[in-house]
Amino acid sequence: MFKNRMGKVRSGWIILLALVATSLIQSLLMVPGMIYPIMKELLTNPNGFNGNVDELTNNSPWFMLFTQGLGLIGGIVMLFILWRFVNKKRISEMGFKNFSTDFITGLGMGALSIIIIFFILLATKNIEMANSFGSPDFSAYTISYLLFFILVGFSEELTFRGYIMSTLADNGNSKTVVYILSSLIFGIAHIWNPNVAIFGIVNIFLVGLLFAYMYDKTKSLWMPIGYHITWNYFQGNVFGFPVSGTTPHGMYGIDVSMGNDWLTGGSFGLEGGFLATLMIACGFLITKLYTKRSLE
C-alpha cells in the first residue's frame, strides 16, 4: 500500500505529505498577519465587523502582502526541506539551476497572452474601460500585488511542477501520467476559489499542462514561473480582471457586465473564457518553437 514494486514509498503519499505540510505551515504563518486588522476593526467598529477576514486584508494591500506572503514563503521553505530530507535530492534537481533567460521569455509570453485577450475583448465591445490608457490608476495595490504574484508564481510552480512532477517521475510514472496528475492537482487546488467556474477549472488544468510542458522542455522552472507571474499580474493589476475569481485591483477599471461570459470569463476572470483556451494552445506552439530553436 505504501511502497511500489521497486520498494520506494509511493509518490502519492510523498505528494500528500508535501501538500498537507505546506498548507499547514502557510495557515499557521498567516495567523499573525490577520490579528492586527481584526483587532483594529473590533476596536474602531465593534458592531460592524462581520467576521470576513478576507475582506479586511483585501482592503489593506500591505497587510495582505504580509499575511499571504509570509505563508507563501513558509510553504516554499517547507517544500525545500521535504525535497532535501524526504526526497533526498538537491534543490537544483527540482529545476532550479542557474538563472536562465527562459524566465524573461516566460514573462513576455504571459504578459502578451493577456494583452492580446484584452484587445480582442475591447475591439469586440465585450468590455468597457472606466479610465483611458493615459490615466492609469496607480495605487498601493500596483506594487503590493506585483510582489504577491511573484511569490505566487514561485510557490505554485515549485509545488505543482518542481516537486510534484519530479516526485512522480522519480517513481517510474510515465510522462503522460506525470503531466496529467500534476495538472489535475493544480486544477483541484483552485476549486475553492471565489466565483469558481467549471470552464475556469478546465482552463487552469490546461495551463497546468502548458506549465508542465515548459518545465519538461526547458528542464527548468524559470519559464513557467515567468509566465505564471505576468499571466496573473496583467489580468488583475494591469487590466483589472478577476484572477481565478479573486478581487481585481487594476490600473484600469474594466466592466465585463455587457460581454459574453464565454469570452470574458465573467466573475471568475479571463481564465473562465474561451480566449484563454486559445492563448494556452498558442503557448504550446510558441514553447515548442522556442525550445527547438534553443537546441539548434
Q: DSSP labels for 187-216? A: HHTTTTSTT--HHHHHHHHHHHHHHHHHHH
- pLDDT higher than threshold 90 for residue 148: yes
The confidence band for 193, taking pLDDT boundaries of 50, 70 and 90, is: confident
- Which has more confidence, 65 or 226? 226
Mean pLDDT in residue range 209-237 = 96
* pLDDT above 90 coverage of the chain, percent: 62
- pLDDT higher than threshold 70 for residue 3: no
pLDDT at 47: 64
SS (H, E, C) 264-290: HCHHHCHHHCHHHHHHHHHHHHHHHHH
- Which has more confidence, 259 or 5? 259
- Which has more confidence, 245 or 269? 269
pTM score of the predicted model = 0.91
The answer to whether residues 76 and 154 touch, using CB atoms and an 8 Å cutoff, is yes
| Average pLDDT along the chain | 89
The answer to whether residues 3 and 14 touch, using CB atoms and an 8 Å cutoff, is no
For the stretch 50-107, pLDDT in tens is 555 566 666 778 888 888 999 999 999 999 999 999 999 998 888 887 788 999 999 9
Q: Which helix (H) or strand (E) holds 128?
A: strand 128-129
The confidence band for 188, taking pLDDT boundaries of 50, 70 and 90, is: very high
pLDDT at 42: 64
The answer to whether residues 227 and 283 touch, using CB atoms and an 8 Å cutoff, is yes
The answer to whether residues 226 and 107 touch, using CB atoms and an 8 Å cutoff, is yes
Q: 295 forms bridges with which residues in the sheet?
A: none
- Which has more confidence, 207 or 268? 207
The three grid cell numbers given for residue 6, joined into one nine-digit string:
521497486
Query: How deeply is 21 buried, as exposed, middle or buried, from its count of CB atoms within 10 A (0-12, 13-18, 19+)?
Result: middle
- pLDDT higher than threshold 90 for residue 255: no
pLDDT at 292: 85
For the stretch 162-182, pLDDT in tens is 999 999 998 888 999 999 999
Mean pLDDT in residue range 1-6 = 62
pLDDT at 249: 85
d(CA 122, CA 105): 26
pLDDT at 294: 63
d(CA 127, CA 9): 51
Nearest to 292 by CA among 221, 213, 228, 224: 213
Mean pLDDT in residue range 151-162 = 97
